[in-house]
Structure 1
Amino acid sequence: MPRVLSDERRDFVNAIGEFCRRECGTKEQRDKLTAHGAESHNQELYTKMAELGWLGIAVPEEYGGAGRGMTDLCLFLEETAYGRAPISGFSTTVVAAAAYEKFADEEQKRVVLEGVVNGRVEAISMSEPGAGSDVGALTCRAERTEGGYLINGQKTWCSNAHIADHVLLVARTSQEESKHQGLTQFMVPTGVEGLQITGIDTMGGREVNDLYFTDCFLPDSAVVGVVGQAWTQLMAGLNLERMILAALMLGTARRAFDDTLDYVRQREQFGRPIGSFQALKHRIADMATELECARLLVDDVAAAIDAEPGRVFAREASMAKLKCTELAKHVALEGMQMMGGYGYATEYGMESLLRSTVVSTVYGGTSEIQRDIIGRTYGL
């Protein structure tokens, strides 16, 4: 089914597609931009996108952005993922920037939001060794001291901290009856004394980090929003984070599908293209149908968020994240199976798509957590 877009949005999508084909459309280009897959973010490419005005798509106009909504943001994320642009820093940047926009003071907003427009990267840190899905169990402490706070503790799985200007830290400022109370957000410069950032090697390359805080002093001006209210502030950003991941994985799933389709059309066995065999033809048909369902879901939820920007669409955003991440993993696995040994070869790229999709069902709230959230919205 053709996507119905305004002329402006169609031109926007086409421009992104052309840029990706020109700048990172070949394996040779992507290898050069990512140190043969070891890095997921290329700052030079990212800066080019900033100069085109794309990185400020969701930033308010008063800070130099375009002030557009969820639909345009999702289109950008989907198309850059489809084009395999190595700009992993953008997703965490948008999540962090939205929190600053809602809760930060004017100086913090100016520094972060204007930085986003100009190609700077931001990160956000919640997870700890003992607090993953259960964010309320975090123990990294921010203790009151003269003129500010001393931060002590460890954070983990912090995406893009090593390339970010700041980390939006969630730390415990008090112990309350509810574990979700007494949490506070802080704006932490990544070069501050007392913070050590250590990369975690993963099968997806260098993207996530451990953060070690040792008597790291932050002034009162580093507090973002209201002391003790970080949980409420985090909940206000659920739509955005889940839709970002849904759009990214929708684009990645489309790429895996198209690469698989090209292969089964061209690869011949037993005297004909392997895609003409019913076993593969039906799997292609099923994947194409599921992709269309996922696209319609993302488009519909994004439009609903644009229509009611102050409302939290917990059920719908979780559905979009669940559907797109699970589908992307499925399509990449099917692509690898249909491509046989070539699916494992780095030359063809399906193995890297599989690596990026497998982790998508874990970060940003696991598939199990998304199902639990959806179930609770039905009173279960």
Structure 2
Amino acid sequence: MPRILTDEQQDLINAVSEFCRRECGTKEQRDKLTVNGQEPHNQRLYTTMAELGWLGILIPEEYGGAGLGMTELCLFLEETAYGRAPISGFATTIIAAASYQKFGTEEQKRVVLDGVVRGRIEAISMSEPGAGSDVAALACRADRVDGGYLLNGQKTWCSNAHIADHILLIARTSKEDSKHKGLTQFMLPTDIDGLQISGIETMGGREVNDLYLTDCFVPDSAVVGTPGKAWTQLTAGLNLERMILGAMMLGVARRAFDDTVDYVRNRDQFGQPIGTFQTLKHRIADMATELECARLLLSDVATAIDANPGMVFPREASMVKLKCTELAKHVALEGMQMMGGYGYATEFGMEALLRSAVVSTVYGGTSEIQRDIIGKTYGL
């Protein structure tokens, strides 16, 4: 189905698509950029995108950005994911930047938002060994001392901390009657004394980290927003996080689908292309239909967010995250099945798309958590 886009939006898609084809369109190029898949973020490529003005899509013009909306951000994310651009640092950067933009001091905004536009990386840290889906159960402490706070504890699954300038870290500053109270956000430089960043080896390469904090001192000026109100601040950013992940995975799903269609069109067995067999043809038709449904959902919710700044869309944003991530996993699995042994071969890339898709149903709130949120919006 043709997209209804403005000329500027179509120009953005065309430019990003051409850039990805030129810079990372072949497996050889991607292997070189990612050290054979071990480094999912390439800073040289990322800096080039910054110079083209793409990383500041959502950043206000007063801080050097383009001041565009959720729709343009989603188009950019979808197209870079489809083009398999190794810029894994962008998602956490824009999520963290949005929190600074809403709740940070003017100095924090100048430092972070200007850095985003120039191609710097930001990270955000919530999860702990005992606080995953139940984020509010975190126990990392920030104890009040003269002039600031001392941070102690462990964080885990912190994406891009090893390449970031700062970590937007959530810690407990007081014990309250509710676990959702007494949490505070801090702007933590990654070179601060007492912070150890330790990489976690995963099948997706070097992306996530354990953080160990031992008497890390941060001044009062490091507090982002209101002390004790981090949970409210976090919920204000849920639209953005879920839309980002949904847009990225729609791009992955589209890429897996197109690669699968290309394969079944050209793979002959029993004297004809395997895509002409009804069993595969119907599965292709089902996936194509689901992709259109996901695209329309993402587009409609992005449009609603742009039309209603400041409103939170918990049901719709969770639907986007749930639909797009589960669809990406389904399409990549179907692609691997239809490609047979070639689906498992690194030469063809379907296995890499599957790895990206599977983990997307876990991070940023699992599919089970998204279903629970959606159900609650119906009073259940």
Q: TM-score range by the shorter chain?
A: over 0.9
CA displacement 1:205-252 (0-9 Å, x = unmatched): 110000000001111110000000000000100100000000000000
Q: Secondary structure at the match of 2:208?
A: strand
Does structure 1 residue 315 correspond to structure 2 residue 319?
no
Task: Tell me the equivalent position of 1:53.
Answer: 53
Equivalent in the alignment of 1:107: 107
How many residues in Structure 1 have an aligned counterpart in Structure 2? 380
Offset of residue 68 of structure 1: 0.5
Q: Does 1:214 align with 2:217?
A: no
Shift of 1:91: 0.2
Q: 2-side partners of 1:15 and 1:255: how far apart?
A: 18
What code does the residue aligned with 1:172 have? Answer: R
Distance 1:199 1:165 in 2: 16
- The alpha carbon displacement at 1:7 in A equals 1.0
SS in structure 2 at match of 1:139: coil
Counterpart in the other structure of 1:7 = 7
* Distance in 2 between residues matched to 1:133 and 1:174, nearest whole Å: 21
Query: 1:170-209, aligned counterparts within 5 Å?
Result: 170-209=170-209
Matched position secondary structure for 2:129: coil
Deviation string 1:334-370 (CA, Å, 9 cap, x unpaired) is 0000000000000000000000000000000000000
Give distance in 2, aligned partners of 1:98 and 1:111.
Answer: 13
Q: Which residue of 1 aligns with 2:143?
A: 143
| 2:163 match | 163
Q: Distance in 2 between matches of 1:193 and 1:156?
A: 18
Distance in structure 2 (CA, Å) of the matches to 1:77 and 1:8: 16
How far apart in 1 are the matches of 2:226 and 2:73?
28
TM-score under structure 1 length normalisation: 1.00
Listed as ranges, the matches of 1:176-325 within 5 Å are 176-325=176-325
Deviation at 1:4, TM superposition (A): 1.1
Q: In structure 1, what residue type is equivalent to 2:37?
A: G
Match in the other structure for 1:91: 91
- Identify the residue that residue 69 of structure 2 maps to in structure 1: 69
Aligned to 1:119: 119
1:111-137: CA deviations, max 9, x gaps? 000000000000000000000010110
Aligned mates of 2:30, 2:149 — CA distance in 1? 43
Helix, strand or coil: the match of 2:158? strand
Secondary structure of 1:168's aligned partner: strand
2:198 partner SS: strand
- How far apart are the structure 2 equivalents of 1:206 and 1:161? 10
Where does the alignment leave 5 or more consecutive residues of structure 1 unmatched?
Answer: none
Q: How far apart are 1:26 and its partner, in Å?
A: 0.2
Which secondary structure state, in structure 2, belongs to the residue aligned with residue 143 of structure 1? strand
SS at match of 1:216: strand
Query: Distance between the aligned counterparts of 2:141 and 2:261, measured in 1?
Result: 51
Q: Which amino acid aligns with 1:194?
A: G
Runs of 4+ in 1 over 4 A off after TM superposition: none
Query: What is the letter of the counterpart of residue 302 of structure 1?
Result: A
Alignment of 1:36-47 (within 5 A): 36-47=36-47
> What is the rounded CA distance, in whole Å, between the counterparts of 1:40 and 1:323 in structure 2?
24
Q: What's the CA shift for 1:309?
A: 1.2
Secondary structure at the counterpart of residue 207 of structure 1? coil
Q: Compute the TM-score of the two structures, normalised by the length of structure 2.
A: 1.00
3-state DSSP class of the match of 2:156? strand
SS in 2 for 1:150: strand
Rounded to whole Å, the distance in 2 between the matches of 1:230 and 1:166 is 17
1:310 and 1:252 map into 2 onto residues whose CA distance is 29
SS at the partner of 2:181?
Answer: coil
C-alpha distance in 2 between matches for 1:354 and 1:120: 28
Between the aligned partners of 2:47 and 2:318, the Cα distance in structure 1 is 31
Tell me how far 1:8 sits from its aligned partner. 1.0
Q: Taking every aligned residue pair, what percent have the same amino acid on both sides?
A: 81
CA distance in 2, matches of 1:236, 1:300: 20
How far apart in 2 are the matches of 1:7 and 1:125? 38
Give the aligned residue type for 2:22: R
Q: CA deviation at 1:79?
A: 0.3
Separation in 2, partners of 1:21, 1:34: 16
- CA distance in structure 2 between the partners assigned to 1:59 and 1:310 by the alignment: 15
Which digits, 9 at most, give the CA deviation of each residue in 1:37-82, with x for residues without a partner?
0011000000000000000000000000000010000000000000
The separation in 1 between residues aligned to 2:309 and 2:281, in whole angstroms, is 41
Rounded to whole Å, the distance in 1 between the matches of 2:88 and 2:41 is 5
Q: Using the alignment, how far apart are the partners of 2:8 and 2:325 within structure 1?
A: 28
Deviations 1:275-324 (A, max 9, x none): 00001000000000000000000000000000001110000000000000
CA–CA separation in structure 2 for the residues paired with 1:73 and 1:9: 10
The residue identity in structure 2 corresponding to 1:119 is G
Q: Letter of the aligned partner of 1:129 in structure 2?
A: P
